[in-house]
Amino acid sequence: MATTCPKCGATAGTSAEECPQCGILFSKWQQRESNVASGDTARYAAIANATSSEFNWTILIIVATVVAAIFYFLNLDAPQ
Ligand SMILES: [Zn+2]
**Ligand 1 centroid, distance to 12 Cα (angstroms):** 8
10 CA → ligand 1 middle, Å: 5
User: Is 55's pLDDT higher than 90?
Assistant: no
Least confident of 12-21, 35-44, 63-72: 35-44
| Ion ligand 1: protein residues whose beta carbon lies under 5 Å | 5, 7-8, 10, 19, 21-22
pTM tops 0.85, yes or no = no
Instruction: Kindly list the distances between the CA atom of residue 59 and the CA atoms of 63, 69, 71, in Å, as whole numbers in the listed order.
Output: 6, 15, 18
Dihedral over Cα of 10, 12, 17, 20: its sign: negative
Q: Is the pLDDT of residue 48 over 90?
A: no
Please tell me the distance between residue 4's alpha carbon and the centre of ligand 1 in angstroms: 8
